[in-house]
Amino acid sequence: MNCKEALPLIHEYLDGDLQGSDSQRLKEHLISCQACHALFRQLEKTDAMVRMLPPVRVSDTLTAQIMSGLPPVKKRNSWMVFIRRHPAVSVAVVFATVMFGSFMSMWNDDTNLMVKGSNLQDVVIEGDTVTVPQGHTVKGDLVVQRGKLKVEGEVTGNLTVIDGSLNLASTAHISGHVTQVNEALSWVWYKVGEYVGMFSH
């Protein structure tokens, strides 16, 4: 046994935890090593003096002073814990927030007339007015944004008017759904549905 191995065994011996062959090996080392033997005697005296000291009573005031001097325990933010445990939900929320913000910005910034459909040769556009004349048929969906739509003929798909007006003549015939979106929030839902629809096809 060398001195480095002996030091932890000396502490265990003074604590009364050293037994068996380790105890025997330590005794043999202390007999052969004067430095460790001197250290053992010094630690033994220190240990005896500490045991002879009267017990110290700590007052409540001192305890309170010590506790008040410690840094405050940081409160864990429950949102941060949730984000760490559910990263996919966090990403989805951030994505939805960004999309909502961009859609709202588009709603506020865009003032131009937009007409969208697969078959627009039967549509007449004059200024901000879009007309499906009587006797003409628009095959498929028709979307008009920020304009006035007058339907006198036929639309074989869905008809959507966004932030505009719709006038259906008595001769008008719409095969699909008619949707009017005049509020920013409704428009956001419309755009989300359109966006999801692009990926579902």
Which residues are paired to 115 by β-bridges?
144
pLDDT confidence of residue 152: 93
Who contacts 30 (Cβ-Cβ below 8 Å, separation ≥6)?
6, 36, 37, 40
Distances in whole angstroms, Cα of residue 84 to Cα of each of 16, 76, 138, 177, 197 = 47, 12, 52, 44, 31
Which residues are paired to 161 by β-bridges?
144, 180
Q: How many CA atoms lie within 13 A of 182 on its CB side?
A: 6
Phi, psi of 117 (to 5 degrees): 180, 165
pLDDT confidence of residue 133: 92
Let me know if 168 is exposed, middle or buried by CB neighbors in 10 A (0-12, 13-18, 19+): middle
Let me know if 149 is exposed, middle or buried by CB neighbors in 10 A (0-12, 13-18, 19+): buried
Q: Residue 81 carries which side chain, given as an amino acid letter?
A: V
- Neighbour tally for 23: CB within 10 Å: 14
- Please give the Cα distance from 197 to 140 (Å, whole number): 16
pLDDT confidence of residue 69: 75
Mean pLDDT of successive 10-residue stretches along the chain, which has 201 residues: 85 82 88 89 83 70 74 68 72 72 59 83 89 91 89 91 88 89 60 58 51
Six-digit token pair at 39? 């250290």
pLDDT confidence of residue 131: 92
Comparing CA positions, the residue from 186, 184, 157, 161 lying closest to residue 173 is: 157
Let me know if 120 is exposed, middle or buried by CB neighbors in 10 A (0-12, 13-18, 19+): middle
SS3 (DSSP) at 159: strand
